[in-house]
A and B are shown apart, each in its own frame.
Chain A
Amino acid sequence: MENILEQYKSVSNTDVKTWFKVGVISDFPENSGACIKYKTKQIAVFNFTRTGKWYASQNLCPHKMEMVISLGMIGNKEDVPKVACPLHKKNFSLEDGSNLAGEDYKIAVYPVKIENENVYIGFND
């Protein structure tokens, strides 16, 4: 199953080649996550209504290889915005995808841009 995992690599703002429109703000639930499709990828999009910030990551749980990250609960640990995987509550930073308990599993993250109520995710392909 590693090949599924391999297609997810973090993209930084400066690497973006395509800003892909995934919907309008009201398509996304407040203070939680939802999933979008881009080519063969599944991307989790998180709407932090309280801070007005948006984040995106792979939807694939790197531990059990299930498409579930978007269903996880969001929040923060100290200053870091995070998501807790719904299967085993592993916590991931939405800033860099790292595992907040210091374990080895981590997730790929993608930049999000909001323009005129439209939501875009940045990809490098």
Chain B
Amino acid sequence: MKKIIIVGNGMVGYKFCEKFVAQEHSKNFEITVFGEEPRPAYDRVHLSEFFENQDAKALEMAPAEWYKENGVTLVVGERVSDIDRNNKTIATSKDRGFSYDYLVLATGSSAFVPPIKGVEKEGVFVYRTIEDLEDMLAYAAKIKAKKPNARGAILGGGLLGLEAGKAVMDMGLEPHIVEFASKLMPRQLDSRSSQVLQLKLESIGLNIHLSKATNQILGNGAITGMEFGEDDALDVDMLVISAGIRPRDELGKTSGLEMGARGGIVVDNRMRTSDKNIFAIGEVALYNQMIYGLVAPGYDMATIAVNQILGEDSMMAENIDMSTKLKLIGVDVASFGEPFMPASKGHSVIFENKTQHLYKRINVSLDGKKLLGGILIGDATDYNMLHQVYLNEMAIPEDAAQLILPASDGGSSFGSVLDLPDTAQVCSCESLSKGEICCSITEDGCNNLSEVISKTKATTGCGGCKPMVVDLVNETLKSLGKEVKDTVCEHFNYNRQELYDLVKINKVADYDEALNLFGDGHGCEICKPVFASIFATITMETANRQPGIQDTNDRFLANIQRNGTYSVVPRVPGGEITPQQLIVLGEVAKKYNLYTKITGGQRIDLFGAQVHELPLIWKDLIDAGFESGHAYGKSLRTVKSCVGSTWCRYGMHESVTFAIDIEKRYRGLRSPHKFKGGVSGCIRECAEARGKDFGLIAVEGGWNLYVCGNGGATPKHAVLFAEQLDDDTAIKYLDRFLMYYIRTAGPLVRTAPWLDKLEGGIDYLRQVVIEDSLGIAEDLENEMKGLIGKYECEWKQAIESPEILKRFKHFVNSDDTDENIEFVPMRGQKMPKPW
């Protein structure tokens, strides 16, 4: 049996193992992989996520068991210190020796620390490993305790530096980015796009200092500042250096492999070093005089080395595509092909909108026929398609500007994805071409997206190609004459609206009957909650009648949180609360030792309740006059309000009163997704009503009604629907609007995307709701009145029924509670103990 040793268990080293064990002949090899870090390979690209959740496990490429199950011996916390090429052995930092037939060097890189005076001071860090991050976190906590407004600086405004900037911001320090060049991300962006990015980052609180050469780090023992010029300095309490990378090529040097003049182990296009039994891949390999610091080329190198060892021939491409798309602190940034281009080679088309922090540039060949590259800031939705057009040298429209200008008719300027050549690479993580993806449908008989994904593994890497794969699958199925239906799941061949009608017309009693009549199999976590919502919006039944089909949150009438405990949110209509009610909430929280926080919807969330405590807590709350806030349900959350004319000297109408009326009207109403409302007393809009599914804003002569807005991941302002309405008309329109949405929207589709897909858009919606073009307005109103009349607080139901109360117990066979739940103190309250 031949032995392979992989030196380095980073992303590329792991990828080598993954690709290797997937091959038929891999069984004839014994694989050992060494990593010097204390844990298995993790996703360094998403390192800054560690600050959000401090969950190292979530970043793992694969858990330690994976290696065991696939016959790979994983040795962590042990560095390979020497290679003896003559005897084909290695030695480790623990003085152990191993022999090899093939050696794969995947040692990656380390952070480059420039020789600045004072760089050794306490409080100066590099940004590379989870251990670096843990040290930074501990230090940040220490300095913040002494100085609440402490500053953290990052040396380097490149890609990684900006990621580190987010990390420093998440730690609660005032973030400062210090860059030597005159622009951010100097390798990827031109000056104008860099300015747009800078404006955007400054708007979210990053301080940016350009053209600064750091002379020395100031401070006595610990860092207190950075000095740039004679009279130019910045006070900082912590510094993170992110000034580039250096290949970890020590083993290459000491064992006499051919090296690049400025480091890196030289490899040919088959990843072979100057020793035929040794390969180098990833950031330690110098290919075409270049070190490639991106994951995709590293993965390609891993695949090529796997093929070489197994006796198959494949070669690295001559020109490596350095295109990237990423979300940097929530901002889309993408560049592809040649982002900067001398005017002698072609023309550029540039679209810039600084008010919205948008920048798009494409570079077009002199004859106007080919796309050479480009940059997108702020909105990179077109990246996939532009990247394909570039890679495949596809023909572009005569007016190239159409590629980046917002299409006036809302349609795409690209035509169909099927126009791509079969060789177009769609999923770069798994190296899948358009042809291979389509083939899984036309030849291998896949019938839908999930079958294509399990057959090809497309989208399972970074997931960036998902929209394109979805389009490809749908278009290919359509081209074969197969019907593409937005069916709910494998158990029902209908969409939500059809199921809603079927249940209503056939007076279906419960989920089991629906499954018998129209379904197949035994259901799943997708169709069950859809039916729960449908039954609730036809009969107003609460989540207590059919607990088995409720999502976990609804089943326990609370929101399950990180450590398996729950949070409790009583309804506070319109955000109006009496001092006595506040005292009750405080006392309940104290009694059950709950963490309390004010929510965005003007109510109070009580966290950290165990399942058996929920009924006890609710008994106390209900006795004090509270009722369920349905924060766990796909239902009305809150109607947020400002104080309005009752108190405010600018207020036009009584916004609080109206908000309370509306919140009480729709409380408990289930819907395809959660929905929220807002009522503002004047156009200053302090209730942020336009960020809600429905909003009312007081104006001279009545209320302006806005619909279909939301906050969240894709914020959208609600659109003006009708003007100067009196109270009754506003309610009438709202009843009709909400009922129409409830009847017709797909599962988990909020009002904004529902409106986007509604043919005819807002004008059509006005016709249905205001002009009653479908003749259903009265139906909608009556249906809504019926539902409102049947409202019941489901928590009151629960605490009054011994049968329902049986559910709120951790063990069936014991009164013990879950001993794995642990808390630690935080700012005078508690939080779940981090794993």
Point out residues on A near B: beta carbons under 8 Å.
1-2, 4, 22-23, 27-32, 34-37, 42, 45, 48, 50-51, 62-68, 71-78, 81-82, 84, 86-87, 89, 91, 101-102, 104-105
State whether A71 and B552 are in contact (beta carbons under 8 Å apart), knowing that A1-B835, A37-B816 are contacts in the complex: yes
Count residues of chain B with CB under 8 A from any CB of chain A: 44
Q: How far is the CB of B508 from chain A (nearest CB, A)?
A: 16
Do residues B813 and A32 form an inter-chain contact, with CB atoms below 8 A? no
Do residues B812 and A36 form an inter-chain contact, with CB atoms below 8 A? yes
Do residues B812 and A45 form an inter-chain contact, with CB atoms below 8 A? yes
Do residues A84 and B522 form an inter-chain contact, with CB atoms below 8 A? no
Find chain A residues with CB under 8 A from B64 CB: 2
Do residues B551 and A73 form an inter-chain contact, with CB atoms below 8 A? yes
Provide the bound-state CA to CA distance between A65 and B65, in Å: 15
Q: What sequence of 0s and 1s flags, for each residue 329-346 of chain B, a beta carbon within 8 Å of any chain A beta carbon?
A: 000000000000000000
Which of B142-150, B229-237, B350-358, B555-563 interfaces with chain A?
Answer: B555-563
Do residues A66 and B563 form an inter-chain contact, with CB atoms below 8 A? yes
Contact of A86 among B58, B523, B560, B821 (CB under 8 A): B560
Contact of B811 among A37, A66, A77 (CB under 8 A): A37
Q: What sequence of 0s and 1s flags, for each residue 796-835 of chain B, a beta carbon within 8 Å of any chain A beta carbon?
A: 0000000000010011111010101100000000000001
State whether A35 and B62 are in contact (beta carbons under 8 Å apart), knowing that A75-B521, A87-B560 are contacts in the complex: no
State whether A73 and B528 are in contact (beta carbons under 8 Å apart), knowing that A37-B816, A50-B512 are contacts in the complex: yes
Q: Which of A42, A48, A62, A82 has the most CB of B within 10 A?
A: A42
Q: Which of A27, A82, A84 has the most CB of B within 10 A?
A: A84
Provide the bound-state CA to CA distance between A31 and B58, in Å: 31
Do residues B813 and A73 form an inter-chain contact, with CB atoms below 8 A? no
A-B contact pairs, 9 of them (CB 8 A): A4-B820, A27-B812, A63-B57, A64-B55, A64-B57, A68-B564, A73-B525, A86-B551, A86-B552
State whether A73 and B62 are in contact (beta carbons under 8 Å apart), knowing that A50-B512, A67-B818 are contacts in the complex: no
Q: What sequence of 0s and 1s flags, for each residue 687-713 of chain B, a beta carbon within 8 Å of any chain A beta carbon?
A: 000000000000000000000000000
Provide the bound-state CA to CA distance between A104 and B63, in Å: 7
In the complex, B490 has a CB within 8 A of chain A: yes
Find chain A residues with CB under 8 A from B66 CB: 104
In the complex, B435 has a CB within 8 A of chain A: no
Q: How far is the CB of B124 from chain A (nearest CB, A)?
A: 32
State whether A35 and B811 are in contact (beta carbons under 8 Å apart), knowing that A29-B547, A68-B564 are contacts in the complex: yes
Q: Which of B536-561 contact A (CB under 8 A)?
A: 547-549, 551-552, 555-556, 560
Q: How far is the CB of B433 from chain A (nearest CB, A)?
A: 21
Q: How far is the CB of A103 from chain B (nearest CB, A)?
A: 9
State whether A51 and B522 are in contact (beta carbons under 8 Å apart), knowing that A1-B835, A23-B812, A27-B812 are contacts in the complex: yes
Do residues A35 and B525 form an inter-chain contact, with CB atoms below 8 A? no
In the complex, B773 has a CB within 8 A of chain A: no
Do residues B63 and A37 form an inter-chain contact, with CB atoms below 8 A? no
Do residues A67 and B560 form an inter-chain contact, with CB atoms below 8 A? no
Do residues A37 and B62 form an inter-chain contact, with CB atoms below 8 A? no
Point out residues on B near A: beta carbons under 8 Å.
55, 57-58, 62-66, 454, 460, 490-491, 512, 515, 521-525, 527-529, 547-549, 551-552, 555-556, 560, 562-564, 807, 810-814, 816, 818, 820-821, 835
Do residues A32 and B490 form an inter-chain contact, with CB atoms below 8 A? no
Provide the bound-state CA to CA distance between A67 and B610, in Å: 12
Provide the bound-state CA to CA distance between A63 and B835, in Å: 11
Find chain A residues with CB under 8 A from B812 CB: 22-23, 27-28, 34-36, 45
Find chain B residues with CB under 8 A from A63 CB: 57-58
Do residues A71 and B548 form an inter-chain contact, with CB atoms below 8 A? no
Q: Chain A: which residue is nearest B450 at the CB level? A: A101
Do residues A65 and B522 form an inter-chain contact, with CB atoms below 8 A? no
Q: How far is the CB of B533 from chain A (nearest CB, A)?
A: 14
Q: Which of A30, A62, A71, A81 has the most CB of B within 10 A?
A: A71
Provide the bound-state CA to CA distance between A62 and B58, in Å: 11
Apart from the given pairs A64-B58, A71-B552, 12 other A-B contacts in the complex at a CB distance below 8 Å: A29-B548, A29-B807, A30-B548, A35-B811, A35-B812, A36-B812, A50-B512, A50-B515, A64-B55, A68-B552, A73-B549, A77-B490
Q: Which of B490, B525, B560 has the most CB of A within 10 A?
A: B525
Provide the bound-state CA to CA distance between A23 and B811, in Å: 11
Provide the bound-state CA to CA distance between A64 and B55, in Å: 9
Provide the bound-state CA to CA distance between A19 and B826, in Å: 44
Find chain A residues with CB under 8 A from B818 CB: 42, 67
Find chain B residues with CB under 8 A from A23 CB: 812-813
State whether A35 and B810 are in contact (beta carbons under 8 Å apart), knowing that A75-B528, A105-B63 are contacts in the complex: yes
Find chain B residues with CB under 8 A from A78 CB: 490, 521
State whether A68 and B522 are in contact (beta carbons under 8 Å apart), knowing that A4-B820, A86-B552 are contacts in the complex: no
Do residues A76 and B522 form an inter-chain contact, with CB atoms below 8 A? yes
Find chain A residues with CB under 8 A from B835 CB: 1, 64-65
Q: Chain B: which residue is nearest A59 at the CB level? A: B818
Do residues B528 and A37 form an inter-chain contact, with CB atoms below 8 A? no
Q: How far is the CB of B329 from chain A (nearest CB, A)?
A: 24
Provide the bound-state CA to CA distance between A93 and B512, in Å: 22
Q: How far is the CB of B582 from chain A (nearest CB, A)?
A: 32
Do residues A75 and B522 form an inter-chain contact, with CB atoms below 8 A? yes
Find chain A residues with CB under 8 A from B65 CB: 104
Pairs A-B, 5 closest by C-beta atoms: A75-B524, A86-B552, A84-B525, A73-B525, A31-B548
Q: Which of A64, A74, A75 has the most CB of B within 10 A?
A: A75
Q: How far is the CB of B804 from chain A (nearest CB, A)?
A: 11
State whether A72 and B525 are in contact (beta carbons under 8 Å apart), knowing that A29-B548, A65-B835, A86-B560 are contacts in the complex: yes
Find chain B residues with CB under 8 A from A35 CB: 810-812
Provide the bound-state CA to CA distance between A100 and B548, in Å: 21
Q: How far is the CB of A33 from chain B (nearest CB, A)?
A: 9
Provide the bound-state CA to CA distance between A75 and B422, in Å: 38
Provide the bound-state CA to CA distance between A76 and B489, in Å: 11
Provide the bound-state CA to CA distance between A50 and B505, in Å: 25
Provide the bound-state CA to CA distance between A82 and B521, in Å: 12
Find chain B residues with CB under 8 A from A27 CB: 812-813
Contact of A37 among B560, B814, B821 (CB under 8 A): B814
State whether A66 and B564 are in contact (beta carbons under 8 Å apart), knowing that A1-B835, A35-B811, A48-B522 are contacts in the complex: yes
Do residues B810 and A71 form an inter-chain contact, with CB atoms below 8 A? no
Find chain B residues with CB under 8 A from A105 CB: 63
Q: How far is the CB of A29 from chain B (nearest CB, A)?
A: 7
Find chain B residues with CB under 8 A from A36 CB: 811-814
State whether A77 and B524 are in contact (beta carbons under 8 Å apart), knowing that A29-B548, A37-B814 are contacts in the complex: yes
Do residues A73 and B810 form an inter-chain contact, with CB atoms below 8 A? no
Find chain B residues with CB under 8 A from A101 CB: 454
